[in-house]
A and B are shown apart, each in its own frame.
Chain A
């Protein structure tokens, strides 16, 4: 009988025990010490987070029609490590994307694991590519922005989405898209899924969806038909007058709602289609010296402060000399007897300067500021300029000859139109409005806060000035704006363009006409500003006819009834 091999058994047992201890120790390391790190590592290999972009809200006109809308689209990407035949796949994908295979193929041959092939691909096209079931080709949900009205649908007001400063693909760049991005964008969601080694989701695996919250719709004050007519008339006027560009603004004076805001500055070479710049808005961002349309402020201040009685007769020559400079009226004339009403009606520079001298610089500066010069209107669009109103302490001796007639001061078209809206609304300045409110994803309308208002001149003063402006159209410099059957109030302007290099002024002009109708109960204010026309230069010849055309459109569109005869001011020239 042999003895059991105790030593060997003991050795084997010890070895076994040692091995088991090592395994247990390793398990403790894996399951306890490194458990969290390993779990995280495993999850990072298995879990995929797919962003679910929120659908961007639409931008609507005042009737709820879409000026900008987003639709679902797909980003098509490639994982070159899984692409088996780059040339063949490029040949199949390229025609569907409207590209050449040579453009696609390099993207399928990269060394990385992800490369965009195309962004914002329409869903039907993405579906066709998906149906090819090409290895290494994937899709990510995103949205695509559309602007159905194109260049005739308030492009500078709406703005655009595009490649922005941070190089992100879809950033708001200008207009309401930028100003109201927080409202429109919504909140992106995400989907977490567990995938296997083959890249497909694991059945019964993790599938957590955080749904996106859609953005709100933005309801603007834009009337699409007036906007279209304004844009069309402006383009025609700019072309026919050989102008650099122009702006048209149509506004409801009682509410401050902007019904149309059109700008047209053709770019590109002659014969080529003009590219619309949606990222800047000259109606609020460009400033110009307004010229005679500014005289309405001088007259309003003089009347409000009782500095110039309406029946006071000025003896007005056609030239005024101060500090060695001569300022002329637009046409030569002998010294004429003029009331303030005559001065405005015939847009006499010299007469306006004489009236302003009775007003004095302090009050003129006060009223220029009260009418909104030197301050942004706060319409809520990006890039608004405050214009340039020289502070009173910096005024020179020439200032009282320049500022009353609208030179030496710079305003935006919107500021200037708002001055006339103030007169039209009985002397109350109303902050211009471009947004009526928002509509949340549940469909509830949230109105925008009411506009800021302030009284600038009394109702009586506004009424008197309106009579003067009606006389301008009836028998003054603005007869081309006359609409038979209606009393139109308005003023012409022909402002000189400053020379930024040498100082002084260029031999170029900004022609404008700003007015409202009907004079006795204004329903709409229309401002037409034509920048540097070359065929004619006067506002009464270049801009007033555009006002007339748009005024007729507005009458028909808004069903404006003719009003009462306005009270014309006393006139020395017309024997009243």
Chain B
């Protein structure tokens, strides 16, 4: 009887040890996976940050032939529409000289 009890205890102890070891291995594997994912996440963050820069988007837009709108259409609350901000140069010449005089702001 005593032999059986001791045998059962030894078996239980061994089984617990095996389970603990397995758990430890699993924790280690998960920690490694977490580390790898963190690295991948960092690389992706950098990648995304580079992709969404205005400079890259502008260059890409230019490459595929996009231009800034020539007309800005403003829709008012009452439903009326207005074309504004036409990107043309002002036709009125500035009323200032084109060469400096002494003393001069302008």
Contacts and interface: CB of A to CB of B under 8 A. Distances in A.
B38 interface: yes
Given A72-B38, A556-B72, A485 B94 contact: no
Interface stretch (B6-14, B15-23, B39-47): B39-47
Contact of B95 (A477, A496, A561): A477
A133 to B, nearest CB: 18
Interface in A136-184: 146, 148-150, 152-153
Nearest to B55: A152
Given A65-B49, A555-B84, 5 more contacts: A148-B49, A329-B101, A476-B94, A492-B96, A544-B94
Contacts of B93: 479
B98 interface: yes
A493 interface: yes
Contacts of B94: 476-480, 492, 538, 540-541, 544
A433 B27 CA distance: 47
Interface in A47-82: 65-66, 69, 71-72
A66 B45 contact: yes
Interface stretch (A94-102, A113-121, A220-228): A220-228
A261 B69 CA distance: 25
A537 B50 CA distance: 38
A349 interface: yes
Nearest to A67: B49
19 contacts: A65-B49, A65-B52, A66-B45, A69-B46, A71-B42, A148-B46, A295-B105, A331-B96, A346-B95, A349-B103, A475-B95, A479-B93, A483-B85, A484-B88, A485-B72, A536-B98, A540-B96, A548-B90, A555-B72
Contacts of B82: 485, 562
B65 interface: no
B105 A405 contact: yes
Interface in B16-35: none
B96 to A, nearest CB: 5
Q: Is the interface of B mostly helix, strand, loop or mixed?
A: loop
A33 B104 CA distance: 88
A552 interface: yes
Residue of B39, B69, B104, B106 contacting most chain A CB atoms (<10 Å): B106
Interface in B63-106: 68-69, 72, 74, 76, 82-90, 92-98, 100-106
Contact of A331 (B88, B89, B101): B101
A486 interface: yes
Interface string A478-501: 111111111000001111100000
Contacts of A493: 105-106
Contacts of A123: 39, 42
B43 A71 contact: yes
A339 interface: no
Nearest to A346: B95
Interface of B: 38-39, 42-43, 45-46, 49-50, 52-55, 58, 68-69, 72, 74, 76, 82-90, 92-98, 100-106
A438 interface: no
A98 to B, nearest CB: 18
Given A552-B87, A561-B74, A494 B49 contact: no
A497 to B, nearest CB: 12
Given A327-B103, A407-B105, A480 B90 contact: yes
Contacts of B54: 149, 152, 224-225, 227-229
Contact of A347 (B38, B52, B74, B96): B96
B96 A330 contact: yes
A477 B106 contact: yes
A172 B42 CA distance: 21
B105 A406 contact: yes
A432 B88 CA distance: 32
B102 A328 contact: yes
Contacts of B76: 561
A493 B104 CA distance: 9
Contact of B92 (A65, A475, A496, A553): A475
Contacts of B96: 330-331, 347, 477, 492, 538, 540-541
A482 B106 CA distance: 17
Nearest to A549: B87
Contacts of B46: 69, 71, 146, 148
A486 B72 CA distance: 11
A264 interface: no
Contacts of B55: 149-150, 152-153, 228
B2 to A, nearest CB: 33
A538 B42 contact: no
B18 to A, nearest CB: 18
A540 B106 contact: yes
B39 A479 contact: no
Interface in A380-430: 405-407
A373 interface: no
Nearest to B106: A330
A479 B49 contact: no
Given A326-B102, A328-B101, A486-B84, A72 B49 contact: no
